[in-house]
Amino acid sequence: MHSIVYTGRLLSRAIWNGITNYTTTSAEASVSRKREPHLVHAVCGFPKDFTQAILKKGQFGDDAWFHALSKTTDVIGVADGVGGWRNYGIDPGEFSSFLMKTCERLVCSGRLKNVLPATLLARSYYELLESKQPILGSSTACVIVLNRETCQVYTANIGDSGFVIVRHGEVVHRSEEQQHYFNTPFQLSLPPPGRSGLVLSDSPDAADTSSFPVEDGDVILLATDGVFDNVPQQLLVTEMTKLQGEKDPCKIQGVANSIAWMARNLAFDSTFMSPFAESARHNGIEAVGGKPDDITVLLATVAI
């Protein structure tokens, strides 16, 4: 019974984290937005290990996320700190959190004339490298920018976090994973001194970028691999289709919660043939079941 109550409390706090973020950012934007195109969004997520979880704003375990506004853009992003660093006494969440907080600050500062996601990720990463107190670790990342003046979306993805955009029940855009080899995604890194040759470290220039127009009612899912490794695409599309044209943040929050909870349950289902297990088999590795991981779901609809 204790574990049920504890899990329920963490679920409530995770949901509340997303709701309070929406309330704050929407209030700030309500005066200037009027009828401009914008994103109506919600966030939900879970740390991999509930028992050691310390929930922080903008984080779920080693995952981090942000939403920010400039005069002409809505920007959302996720990052997934590589958990293996914990074996060396390094907190993987610090790297991903720094990346996302810096992206948020850069957007909100208004100093960037053209907010493009690849530039944003690069600026954030180079600030991390130049930090007086080194933040060691590595992370995947994905950032999406909606230009409210042109209804054009710009994306940058490095690694195996990513996005899916659904329109009238069909996937119209989706990011592609970047992997060096199985379960080893591209990543931005800062290794300890003298270890640079032993650690995978990709340049921000390696990010996969794209741009395309969006329409009123399009549904955008931005998530870390804890979602994509455990939830088949068709299940995601089924949930996302419920939000076609939806502008009620409470309903968007409900579906975000549903996707995150689905990913969490499937991650710990030892008999489920998850997308991760299928990928392992394609690489000659016998596997079945989900892949326990931190989970971050940032769900949005385009409102015009």
Give me the residue spans of the domains in the chain: 38-303
Give the residue among 169, 158, 172, 50 at the shortest CA–CA distance from 103: 158
Give the residue among 273, 205, 301, 279 at the shortest CA–CA distance from 290: 273
CATH class for the domain made up of 38-303: alpha beta
Say what the pLDDT of residue 4 is: 40
Q: pLDDT (tens digit, 0 to 9) for every residue of the chain, 304 residues total?
A: 344 434 455 555 555 555 444 433 443 444 344 578 999 999 999 999 988 777 899 999 999 999 999 999 999 999 999 999 999 999 999 999 999 999 999 999 998 888 999 999 999 999 999 999 999 999 999 999 999 999 999 999 999 999 999 999 999 999 999 999 999 999 999 998 877 778 899 999 999 999 999 999 999 999 999 999 999 999 999 999 999 999 999 999 999 999 999 999 999 999 999 999 999 999 999 999 999 999 999 999 999 9
264: left (phi over 0), alpha (psi -120 to 50) or beta: alpha
pTM for the model stands at 0.91
Give the residue among 137, 98, 92, 152 at the shortest CA–CA distance from 121: 98
